[in-house]
Amino acid sequence: MKYFAQFILFIVAISVLMGLQYQYWLGENGYNDSQRLQQQIAEQRTKNQVQEQQNKVLRADVKDLKTGLEAVEEHARIDLGLIKPHETFVQLSTAPNTHTSIAAPAVDPNDVIESIP
C-alpha cells in the first residue's frame, strides 16, 4: 500500500510535468509562438530601418525645397523640362545604335543647321 501511494504520486508528477512541457513547446504563447514573434519583430525592425532612411532623404529634400532655390530649379528642370533663357536644350537618345545596309543620303554643304541661342 505504501508503494502504491508513491507510484500514484509519481504518475501524477510525471503527468503534470508532461502537461507543462506540452504548454511550453506546443501551447498557445509557447516557445514556437515566441520564436515566430521574434522573427516577425526582426523583420519589422529591418523594414523600419529602411523606412527611416527613406524618411531622412525625404526630410532633407523637403528642407532643401523650403530653403534653397537650387532644388526648386532642379525639380523644374527634371520634372517639367524647363530651361533657362539663352540655354540650348539637347536631348540624347538612349535607343541602341542600329546599323543598316542602306547608304545615307549625301549632305549638301550649303545646308547649315542653326543652333538656338
Q: What is the pLDDT of residues 2-58, one digit of tens each?
A: 788 899 999 999 999 998 888 888 888 888 889 999 999 999 999 999 999 999 999
List of residues 6+ apart from 76 with CB closer than 8 A: 82
- Across residues 57-78, what is the average pLDDT? 82
Instruction: Give this prediction's pTM.
Output: 0.45
Distance (Å, whole) CA 77 – CA 9:
85
How far apart are the two ends of the chain, measured CA to CA in Å?
115
pLDDT score recorded for residue 47:
97
- Across residues 71-100, what is the average pLDDT? 76
